[in-house]
Structure 1
Amino acid sequence: MVLFHFTNFLLSVVSSTDSKTLKEEKREELFENLKANESIGWSVDVIDPRELSAKMLKKTKINLNEISHDSAMGLVNRVLGMGVLLTEVYVDTVGDPEKYRIKLSERFPSVKFVVAKKADSLYPVVSGASIVAKVTRDRAVRDWVLTETAENMHRNFGSGYPGDPETKAWLEHHKHSVFGFPTLVRFSWGTCTPYFKDIVEVLWESDKMDENGSSDRSGKRQLKLSSVGFTGYKRKSEEIESSGKGHCKFFQARKLEQVTHF
């Protein structure tokens, strides 16, 4: 979230307030006040939960801090690309404040960065950004269109925060032993972990790989997959009689293998 065109009006509207301590009605009121003033502008980067799940659970994982940093730098790029003379940026830190500041300064040497813990309680410009981010998030959840069409699916998911009883009840009701949750849910969310204890694990055969990443034809291994990513693997004890190197019996029976050169 980047909020620019800092004015005295912004100071009078939001002061230095943590948006999480405000009631939803008050946040909506402040948001509308910000919208009504033409001297204030902002840019928002909304990241789909499916993108977060994919990045955080893939083999080479990208953690939430790094995703947040990339998003912030993308927003700064966007604002600069709009022709805004951006001289200072105030950031509520994700991770170590000084390391984050250095990272931002190296990427944008012409901009002064102030990175601090609880910056939304210290700087009105960050308070304003926090209100816009929170209202945007709450509206996105409220207006979310569920793409799944199961008969027992409903929209009573509450606020989407882990302490909300409605949210917990919705997760319990909509968990699936194979597919996990509907795409509204970020699978890497720590709140999801208890619901995955009864998931179905899938084993599949895979070629062993040597140190160079090439297929090792001396044997096979089994990989174990769950709804939340790779959980480990174990070698098969028996040898495969067929000389076919395919990953399924069709290829093995016909002694077929993939090739890259003819």
Structure 2
Amino acid sequence: LSELLRRFETDSGGSSRLSSSIPAACRSEDCCLGVDEAGRGPVLGPMIYGICFCPLSKKEELKDLKVADSKTLTEAERENLFQKVDEAQSWLGWAVQILSPNMISTSMLQRWHALDSGVQLKEVYVDTVGPAEKYEQKLSQRFPGIQVTVRPKADSLFPVVSAASICAKVARDRLVKGWTFAEDLGEMDSDYGSGYPNDPKTKEWLLKYLDPVFGYPQFVRFSWSTAQTLMDSRAVTEDGEKAAQRQNNRSMLSYFSSSAEGARGQQTHRFFTERRLKSLTSL
């Protein structure tokens, strides 16, 4: 998983899918599949959907792995259980879909990876915080011939969903811990807390790394109300030159200063370096 996650880190602005190999038994036997996510609530970092699937004949063996809702486990316990899931690849498959913060606000309704890979799905179990019956009906219509079960707390009711929950949470934990920032933020403080909006450390980090002109690094979900509120109150508006000065921030015009002025220590923002733009000393 570490090697696969590093591929995403080289381009963390989009979406990426990581998966195990497809067990041969899953292509020939009737299978069950669980779906869960990790990172729905935080304002920082990616959200990850996880799936886990196995033949119906292996349900008891899945129980024997003693998987559980990832939220009830410590990080070490999750890592240990993920290792067991990954070692059972002769009959147990998994996949995670990583949605970067840039992609969070876009919808992603598509055929599941397992179906496209030839897994013979007969039962699907999905976790939800919304109206279970409504989602169950929609999914049943979209995937005829598959028995769909949607339940709140499904990750604590069905082992196959618990396994999916662990895969998603382990992937998110590793990504958030080792996040590679595309922006040059200098000596950046990586102690950003849990990433949840009510976490004091997260709030402090968001205040510290809000650029008055360019907003936040890609690690932040711009569409979340927490980030929007801070940007609305502290970022420079189109005619916000005076407002920016009152807040003791660099003015909008300072980004277009001459190279001589820029030599005072102001770093060139990534917006300009990516487009190979330079300041002119004269017109």
Same fold (TM over 0.5): yes
Please say if 1:30 is aligned against 2:65.
Answer: no
Q: CA deviation at 1:3?
A: 1.1
What does residue 3 of structure 1 align with? Answer: 52
Correspondence for 2:192 among 157, 160, 170: 157
Counterpart code for 1:200: V
1:113-128, aligned counterparts within 5 Å? 113-128=148-163
CA distance in 2, matches of 1:165, 1:105: 42
1:135 CA drift (Å):
0.6
Instruction: Describe the superposition over 1:126-170 as per-residue Cα deviations: whole angstroms up to 9, x where unpaired.
Output: 111111111111111122210100335333323423354433322
Query: What runs of 5+ residues in structure 2 fail to find an aligned partner?
Result: 1-49, 240-283
2:52 aligns to what SS in structure 1? strand
1:183 is aligned with what amino acid? Q
Q: Name the structure 1 match of 2:92.
A: 40
Q: Tell me which residue corresponds to 1:83.
A: 118
Q: In structure 1, how many angstroms separate the alpha carbons of the residues matched to 2:155 and 2:122?
A: 19
Q: Give the whole-Å Cα distance in 2 for the aligned partners of 1:110 and 1:94.
A: 25
**1:199-245 alpha-carbon deviations (Å, 9 max, x no partner):** 22237xxxxxxxxxxxxxxxxxxxxxxxxxxxxxxxxxxxxxxxxxx
Amino acid at match of 1:169: E
Whole-angstrom CA distance in 2 between matches of 1:119 and 1:171: 33
Equivalent position of 2:235 in the other structure: 199
1:179 to 205, 214, 223: 214
Please, which runs of 5 or more residues in structure 1 have no aligned partner?
A: 56-66, 204-262
Q: CA deviation at 1:100?
A: 0.9
* Mapped contact 1:19–1:130 kept (Cα < 8 A): yes
Alignment CA distance shift 1:100-1:49 (3 Å): same
For 2:194 and 2:130, the matched residues in 1 are separated by: 25
Aligned partners of 1:14, 1:162: CA distance in 2, in Å? 32
For residues 161 and 24 of structure 1, the distance between their equivalents in structure 2, rounded to whole angstroms, comes to 17
Q: Distance in 1 between matches of 2:211 and 2:96?
A: 32
Greater Rg over alpha carbons, structure: 1
Give the corresponding residue for 1:20. Answer: 71
Q: Is the 8 A contact 1:98 1:115 kept in 2?
A: yes
Residue 51, structure 1, aligned to residue 87, structure 2: no
Distance, in Å, in 1 between the alignment partners of 2:203 and 2:76 is 23
Q: CA deviation at 1:41?
A: 0.6
Return the offset for 1:178: 2.2
Q: Which whole-Å CA distance do the structure 1 matches of 2:199 and 2:80 have between them?
A: 23
Q: What letter matches 2:54 in structure 1?
A: H
AA at the equivalent of 1:95:
G
Tell me, in whole angstroms, the C-alpha distance in 2 between the residues paired with 1:4 and 1:150. Answer: 41
Q: Of the two structures, which has the highest relative contact order with CA contacts closer than 8 Å and spacing of 6 or more?
A: 2
Aligned equivalents of 2:53, 2:238: Cα separation in 1: 49
Letter in 2 for 1:149: D
Question: Normalising by the residue count of structure 2, what TM-score does the alignment of the two structures yield?
Answer: 0.60
- Report the alpha carbon displacement of residue 4 of structure 1 after superposing the two structures with TM: 0.5
- Cα pair 1:141 1:159 within 8 Å, conserved: no
Kept in 2: contact 1:120–1:127 (CA 8 A): yes
CA–CA distance in 2 between the matches of 1:103 and 1:30? Answer: 32
| Separation in structure 2 between the aligned mates of residue 29 and residue 169 of structure 1, nearest angstrom | 33
